[in-house]
Structure 1
């Protein structure tokens, strides 16, 4: 996840509802990041270690997903297929 997406993700926790409108925006940004990136860009980003700030934001995001199963399910349902398809296209998964 990009830093901007994680910031929005963290803000989504305060805007929780059954439909998770903020989470939808975060999911759209994450999906767009994969869809608008070349395979080389995705692989390079995966090989680059996150900055301490990015690491902290990612940990916070993961903690939010662990504490809210409905939000986690909503987010994963929105991003999993597009990300998996792109990774398959790029040869990153069999």
Structure 2
């Protein structure tokens, strides 16, 4: 198969998956968008400072609720992780937060 055709199919599948995700889980899509924006718009220094400040602190109730939903529904969890994993991991790698 031609690499351009393969790339076009992959791009189309990703677009369809993102659209389906946004329609199926609108609340988590909003949370995922905010989280991705936070990582993309923050400097490495800001991320390091926030990480240090959060250690040992309890999570806000809304965050606890979202985590509970993801624990209870593997499809929601998978959709959320699929949405946020790559952008966050890339930024963390750039900042030296992961090897």
1:88 aligns with: 93
After TM superposition, where is structure 1 displaced by more than 6 Å over at least 4 residues in a row? Answer: none
Tell me by how many angstroms 1:21 deviates: 1.8
- Structure 1 residues 23 and 58 mapped into 2: Cα distance closer, same or farther (>3 Å)? closer
> Is 2:87 the counterpart of 1:61?
no
For 2:65 and 2:26, locate their aligned partners in 1 and report how far apart those are by CA, in whole Å. Answer: 19
For 1:80 and 1:27, locate their aligned partners in 2 and report how far apart those are by CA, in whole Å. Answer: 10
The C-alpha deviation readout for 1:44-80, integer Å capped at 9, x for no partner, is 00110375462x4333222111001111111000000
> Is 2:41 the counterpart of 1:36?
yes
Aligned length: 77
The answer for unaligned runs of 5 or more in structure 1 is 1-16
For 1:92 and 1:52, locate their aligned partners in 2 and report how far apart those are by CA, in whole Å. Answer: 22
**1:6-85 alignment to 2 at 5 Å?**
19-49=24-54, 52=58, 54=60, 56-85=61-90
The answer for unaligned runs of 5 or more in structure 2 is 1-21
For 1:27 and 1:34, locate their aligned partners in 2 and report how far apart those are by CA, in whole Å. Answer: 11
